[in-house]
Amino acid sequence: MHILLDSGKTHNFLDVSTAKRLHCEIRKVPPLQVMVANGQQLQCSSMSKNFEWTIMGRTFSTNVMLVSLGSCGMVLGVQWLASLGPILWDFDKLRMKFKYEG
């Protein structure tokens, strides 16, 4: 699954078709207007709590709002990034470094 890290987004998002394919528990929430990269407004009215994924052998979990993302499976925003504590970004090498569980 392609995951986009977006420090300009407040929430985390999972593609709705990916959530259904993975049999995620889907909950209704009050509607939220979401602006995507092309300026289009989407309405989001469902979420999945404690969605888990693994990167480089480490399992992470966060709440995700469900929307149709198209070309990427998940967008991780400030909601998740803030949980990591200090992050070292190297945009030249396209890397990020943080401490996780020690």
Pick from 65, 85, 84: which is nearest to 75 by CA?
65
Q: What is the DSSP string of 40-99?
A: -EEEEEEEEEEEEEEETTEEEEEEEEEE--SS-SEEE-HHHHGGG-S-EEETTTTEEE--
Pick from 56, 58, 57, 77: which is nearest to 14 by CA?
77
pLDDT value at residue 70:
78
Residues 6, 79 contacting (CB under 8 angstroms) = no
Could you tell me the domains of the chain? Answer: 3-97 (2.40.70.10)
For every one of its 102 residues, what pLDDT tens digit does the chain have, with 9 covering 90 and above?
899 999 888 899 999 999 999 999 999 999 988 887 677 888 899 999 999 999 888 999 999 999 988 778 999 999 999 999 999 999 999 999 998 887
pLDDT value at residue 16:
92
